């Protein structure tokens, strides 16, 4: 069986879709699975257990695509003669696209575009996003519960993380990891996902006062240079790590005693590697983005604004469990 899944969204969305792909592979172990994702998200499949990077096709769903661009995507999909297509959105345009491909089984959510689908399922948004995506498998008669997020970290990335821990002098002591940044796309959209530097500094100081022997390591991603530079200037004793890809990022998260982060792709990686996680949420609903577990703790702003989460509340969660 040949399957194609259209998965718009960022790296976090791909990670949340991994349980769906894993269950699909479990029920159809010989299936050839391709995903169509935005170019910025292809890197997520470095750590997928069920889809290899070479099986990822790219298409910028968010771009102002011409009819020729959409026709080209239809042509690429038609050539591969898929048996099943799965679409995450409710766009009538994507539904029409799948109808034009001639794929016999077309699965998606019930909505505006479902007239072009053969099998539609209800869109239940008031649940964990991974479970919402997993509901799409009901279009194939798969009614099992959504499995936990899980990834496969390449051996070379685990080796890199081991050397990185030695470089940072945290191999023996363990470490608390902080990711406080946000993607440029989130910033352009005006999404409140960044916790203020001064608040992070209070948290770092509180950690050092209570547990001076546990190093604090801060992740610096491509969009985090300004934030991390400010933290380093005010707290020179913190240590900085800059993983160059998703696999290395996952590996350094897996080695941490605790992950402190905002609503971001690294948060989903932390869940996938089962690192104890405390995540800060502004306007977004943590119930939709974190699974129910004592290992993954959400702190939601009472005002919907990140800056209004008090450092004291975060420190209480760290030491109070």
What is the per-residue pLDDT for 303? 93
Sheet holding 176-179, edge to edge: 239-241, 216-219, 176-179, 258-262, 277-281, 296-300
> Which residues lie below 8 Å from residue 162, measured CB to CB, with a gap of 6+?
171
Query: Which pLDDT value is given to residue 93?
Result: 84
Categorize the per-residue pLDDT at 121 as very low, low, confident or very high, splitting at 50, 70 and 90: very high
In order of 20, 112, 121, 244, 265, the CA distances from 139 in angstroms are 12, 17, 6, 37, 28
Please write the tens of the pLDDT for every residue from 71-116: 999 999 999 999 999 999 878 888 898 999 999 999 999 987 789 9
Give 51's DSSP letter: -
List the domains of the chain with CATH numbers: 2-140 (3.40.50.2000), 155-320 (3.40.50.2000)
Q: Can you list the alpha helix ranges (DSSP code H) found in 223-275? A: 225-234, 246-254, 265-272
Let me know: does 119 contact 105? Beta carbons within 8 Å: yes
pLDDT, tens digit, 9 for 90 and up, residues 233-285: 999 999 999 999 999 999 999 999 999 999 999 999 999 999 999 999 999 99
Residue at token pair 């096709």: 57
Span 130-184, pLDDT tens digits = 999 999 999 999 999 999 999 999 999 999 999 999 999 999 999 999 998 765 5
Q: Which of 246, 183, 258, 254 is nearest to 215 (CA)?
A: 258
Span 8-45, pLDDT tens digits:
999 999 999 999 999 999 999 999 999 999 999 999 99
CB 43 within 8 A of CB 73: no
Whole-prediction pTM: 0.93
Q: What integer is the mean pLDDT of 48-64?
A: 93
Strand partners, 281: 300
Higher per-residue pLDDT: 70 or 248:
248
* % of the chain at pLDDT higher than 70: 96
């Amino acid at each position: 069986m040949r399957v194609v899944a259209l998965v718009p969204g960022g790296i976090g969305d791909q990670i949340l879709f991994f349980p769906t792909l894993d269950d699909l592979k479990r029920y159809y172990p010989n299936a050839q699975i391709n995903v169509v994702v935005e170019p910025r998200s292809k890197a997520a499949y470095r750590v997928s257990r069920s889809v290899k990077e070479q099986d990822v096709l790219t298409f910028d769903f968010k771009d102002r695509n011409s009819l020729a661009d959409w026709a080209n995507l239809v042509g690429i999909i038609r050539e591969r003669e898929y048996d099943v297509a799965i679409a995450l959105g409710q766009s009538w345009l994507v539904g029409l696209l799948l109808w034009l491909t001639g794929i016999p089984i077309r699965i998606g959510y019930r909505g505006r575009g479902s007239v072009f689908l053969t099998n539609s399922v209800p869109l239940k948004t008031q649940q964990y996003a991974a479970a919402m995506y997993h509901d799409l498998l009901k279009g194939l008669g798969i009614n099992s519960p959504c499995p936990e997020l899980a990834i496969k970290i390449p051996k070379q990335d685990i080796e890199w993380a081991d050397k990185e821990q030695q470089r940072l002098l945290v191999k023996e002591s363990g470490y608390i990891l902080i990711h406080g940044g946000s993607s440029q796309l989130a910033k352009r959209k005006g999404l409140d996902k960044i916790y203020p530097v001064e608040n992070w500094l209070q948290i770092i100081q509180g950690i050092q006062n209570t547990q001076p022997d546990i190093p604090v390591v801060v992740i610096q991603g491509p969009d985090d240079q300004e934030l991390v530079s400010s933290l380093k200037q005010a707290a020179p004793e913190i240590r900085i790590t800059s993983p160059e890809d998703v696999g290395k990022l996952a590996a350094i998260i897996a080695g941490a005693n605790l992950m402190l982060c905002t609503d971001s792709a690294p948060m989903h990686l932390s869940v996938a590697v089962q690192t104890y996680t405390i995540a800060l949420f502004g306007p977004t609903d943590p119930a939709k983005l974190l699974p129910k577990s004592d290992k993954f703790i959400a702190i939601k702003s009472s005002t919907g604004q990140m800056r209004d989460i008090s450092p004291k509340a975060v420190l209480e969660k760290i030491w109070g469990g």
